[in-house]
Amino acid sequence: MIQPKNLKAQIEKCLSPETKNIINDCAKIAQEKDFRIYLVGGIVRDLLLERKIYDIDVTVQGDAIEFCKILQAELDCKIIQIQNDLRTAKVKFSNSIEIDFASTRKEEYPEKGHLPIVTETGCSLSSDVYRRDFTVNAISSSLNQNNFGEIEDFTGGLEDLKKKKLRILYEKSFIDDPSRIIRGLKFSVRLGFELEEKTKQQQDEYLKNPNRNLSWFRIKSELQQAFSLNVSEVLDKCVEQKIYKIFSDATNKNIKAKDVFNIINKYKSEITYIWLVYFGVLLTDKETIELFNFEKNEKRLLVDALEMIHENFYTKDLFEIYKFFENKCIESILIFYLVTKNENAILFLNELRKHKVLTTGDELINMGFLPGLQFKQIFDSVLQERLKGNIQNKQEELNFIKTLKNS
């Protein structure tokens, strides 16, 4: 990669005509109203690498909310979110294009691992970039008309982009915000980059003595993004580099990341939470789950997986196998299988779960049975016969049930 001084060509090449029009309109207004605005962060990195753009972040040197109010008055757009403490605003333009506008700001972390506090807004661009995670995410490009596209690189980000290195901006960066370690994991896999030597040392240092009094929300969000890439390398690196130590002292080291990837892809159409299968195979205790503010479904599937692993029930009885896995979601079953290698899980998924009792409760009532325990016994008996292959269809079920009535 040559080191460009200007991002104009990449903006022209990689952004849609609609996005370019919006950016040009913002640039025009910034010029008229005397604001200085910049693209900063992931968008600059990805434009330089000519990669897919995920989201558009604009930094306003001054007050972003004031700037967005002017945009709203002059353009076809609407402010859809304001965060007063950070002086940020999200604006929705025509074609549903959304842009995040942030005021330049300085931050401090009085409580390590928790959200930072803003100590100054409207500061210079050079002070703003030093609060960021990696040098490659701290490159900016002017959107002002007089120097449109001009790159400002205060931290050596262009050089690191060329060398494919992720370098933190200050020594205590991971202590302030350990979610940056998982961001590093995400970027290293997504971009094919490596941690620069001192950054790796700082990461190793942090992981020797991780802080568990954290803002887990950001850790969860970054883990979700990293594992949602659905590539085995994320899990490999997470174990190799001991990144799991952020949330747990121990992990299952015998898991092969490639096996996780393969099994996920085999059952992909049924899986809702791909990232939780990767996360789940790392888990060894319930306490780890409690750290995160999981939604009910997410928590349930992880707790089920751990309980099943703990029990690791092995039998040759098809009915017992069926009952063990019945009502468990696919994610829990896959986590269980990957950790225990208990083939009954695959037998259940590929064969046993196809068997369903077709007779309904109403039909049993019509046949003179009483609702309650007796129903359960009948359904279980029918299921057992189905699993043995003695019953193939509904009529055979009804015939079998009649024999129960008579017995």
Nearer to ligand CTP, 112 or 300 (CB): 112
Both tokens of 258, joined, read: 């490639």
CB burial readout 58-94, b (16+ within 10 A) else e? bbbbbbbbebbeebeeebebeeeebeeebbbbbbebe
Nearer to ligand CTP, 158 or 302 (CB): 158
Give me the long-range contacts of 157-161 (CB less than 8 A, separation at least 24). Answer: 157/45, 158/3, 158/4, 158/48, 159/3, 160/134, 160/135, 160/136, 160/196, 161/1, 161/45, 161/48, 161/49, 161/136
Q: How far is the CB of 137 from ligand CTP (least distance, A)?
A: 3
Q: How far is the CB of 87 from ligand CTP (least distance, A)?
A: 15
Q: Using CB atoms within 10 A of its CB, is residue 362 exposed (0-12), middle (13-18) or buried (19+)?
A: exposed
Q: How far is the CB of 222 from ligand CTP (least distance, A)?
A: 8
Q: How far is the CB of 42 from ligand CTP (least distance, A)?
A: 2
Q: How far is the CB of 328 from ligand CTP (least distance, A)?
A: 32
Nearer to ligand CTP, 89 or 383 (CB): 89
| Residue whose CB is nearest to ligand CTP in the complex, by number | 42
- CA-to-CA dists, residue 387 to 53, 279, 381, 400, angstroms: 51, 33, 10, 14
Radius of gyration of the chain (CA): 28
Q: How far is the CB of 70 from ligand CTP (least distance, A)?
A: 23
Nearer to ligand CTP, 195 or 281 (CB): 195
- For residue 95, what is the DSSP state? G
Alpha-carbon span 214 to 111, nearest angstrom: 9
Alpha-carbon span 218 to 183, nearest angstrom: 10
Nearer to ligand CTP, 115 or 239 (CB): 115
Q: How far is the CB of 248 from ligand CTP (least distance, A)?
A: 21
Taking alpha carbons only, the member of 56, 82, 202 closest to residue 133 is 202
Nearer to ligand CTP, 132 or 245 (CB): 132
Phi, psi of 159 (to 5 degrees): -65, -45
Residues interacting with ligand CTP, by CB under 6 A? 41-42, 54-55, 57, 132-133, 137-138, 177, 179-180, 183
Q: How far is the CB of 264 from ligand CTP (least distance, A)?
A: 21
Strands 117-121 and 140-142: unpaired
Nearer to ligand CTP, 136 or 329 (CB): 136
Nearer to ligand CTP, 47 or 260 (CB): 47
Q: Which helix (H) or strand (E) holds 393?
A: none
Taking alpha carbons only, the member of 381, 321, 385, 308 closest to residue 352 is 321
